[in-house]
Amino acid sequence: MGEWRGFAVDLGASNGRTVLGRYDGDKLEMQEVTRFLNIPVSLNGTMHWNFLGLYQEVLMGLAKVCASGKYPSTVGVDSWAVDFGLLDRHGELMGNPRHYRDHHNDGMVQEVLDRVSAEKVYALTGIQTMQINTIYQLMYLKLYRQELLERAQNMLLIPDLMTYFLTGVQASEFTNVTTTQLFNPLSGTWSLELISLLGLPERLFGPIVRPLEILGMIRDGVLGTGHYQKIKVVTVGEHDTASAVFAIPHEAGDYAYISSGTWSLVGIVSPKPIICEETRRHNFTNEGGVNGDYRVLKNVMGLWLWQEVKRQLDQKGEPKSFADLVQMAERAKPLQAVIDPDDPVFLAPENMITAVQTYCQRTGQSPLVELGDICRVILESLALKYRWVIETLEEITGRSLSVIHIIGGGVYNKALCQWTADATNRLVLAGPAEATVIGNLSAQLISVGELAGITDVPALVRRSCETKQYEPKLDRAIWDEGYTNLLKLL
């Protein structure tokens, strides 16, 4: 069939990239085409995404590939979740989309819960309550920007907005829709009951499309004429975590996964959503997968803590590389203290180093003075929190999760991977780091028949990418003691 080429657009909350994928019938190869910053813009007290700038970056990447003669046959777009743009009756974008960290979302969780109980919202959606969710952003517009909702004819999440301007097709992709807290996974449709209870316009919630479908073609005028018009735009796992989990190189049997980056998304893949009092009480979420399954997971603060330590050192004029910090952590004494990484004090402290030290003092633990000790406590505590999430999932599901797949940028932190194996007493398989792009490209391969189906993806990933294996090493007793100390903090 010759070499297949696909074009992946991967938009993250801090930067984006375009990637050319090539498949020769055996292995998938990737070449980064462009990389660009995604910097929010504050205007009149509101934080926005620069969507027009992102769109231009996507076009520049696509034009660069085509100018080289390497025309892709397909394009797929993934991005972060929950944020959206509104379209008017002419299909025009009504302003740049708001940023999920915009302070106008403050208090909107309570506004929703004043109208619908937390128990009912969870029963209808299976999604964890987080202020950033689409439901709370729309509640702000209903209360304070009603004129926008009155004019709007459709709401499209960020990747859907991007594919709309590429193809002219307005549709909402399943995996990203499930994150809005306005989708009912039991019915497989928008939760019209919840939408009605909140008084949101039903017309905003358009057709839902599944991944692995051809959405349309690059339309006239986007990049010109000729070869551009032959490029298909397909629906991938448009939520970036959905694409990442799709690329897990798993074999037979149950497993847990950790999508490791600024956030750690710790969970399992389930054929159906798991919506019960236990998952609600522990704030687990049910997000859609590429093949119609569900990612039952919990957000753990992740390497945000680690990144903030580095940022603080950089600001002080004492810069350290991540490799330096890992080496310092490895030389420190193990399990001197434990923190709960998800304690609110670590969400956005002015000084992460001080926040960790203060937390340890407040909880009656050993004071941490050396930087290496602080770094080690952060990584060990993340590993112990992963254990709590996985053991809780085992209790809820009755499944034995003996293997953990770590994907994403966190695979480069070998200390965290090893200590995750130690803390959980489980085999850890780390890789691929580029799981999101691989999942995006794999969905494109299936959509045009280059791969027979979803069951071919894990083997393709194993052929194309290296993974590293970590087995438990350190004494169980010291990790069990650390876990007991963590449980006291939860």
Question: For residue 27, how many C-alpha atoms fall within 13 Å in the half-sphere facing its CB?
Answer: 7
Strands (E), 226-343: 232-235, 256-260, 264-270, 285-288, 294-300
Q: What radius of gyration, in Å, describes the C-alpha atoms of the chain?
A: 22
User: Which residues, listed in sequence order, are joined to residue 235 by a DSSP beta bridge?
Assistant: 213
Adjacent-strand bridge partners of 94 = none
**Cα separation, 342 vs 356, whole angstroms:** 12
* Element housing 420 (H / E): helix 414-424
240 is known as an active-site residue: yes
- 160: which residues sit within 8 A by CB, 6+ positions away? 170, 171, 172, 173, 176, 238
* Cβ within 8 Å of residue 25, ≥6 positions away: 1
Catalytic-labelled residue, pool 160, 240, 293, 373 = 240
Quick one: DSSP state of residue 90? T
Measure the CA–CA gap between 384 and 216, rounded to whole angstroms: 46
Coil/strand/helix, residue 392: helix
How far apart CA 294 and CA 274 sit, in angstroms, is: 9
Element (H, E) at 430: strand 427-430
C-alpha pair distances (Å), 261 with each of 13, 258, 281, 433, 485 = 12, 9, 25, 10, 25
User: Under the phi-then-psi rule, with left for phi > 0, alpha for psi from -120 to 50, and beta for the rest, what region is 182?
Assistant: alpha
Q: How far is CA 213 from the centre of its chain?
A: 21
Contact yes or no for 154/84 (Cβ under 8 A)? no
- Identity of the residue numbered 5: R
Please identify every residue annotated as catalytic: 240
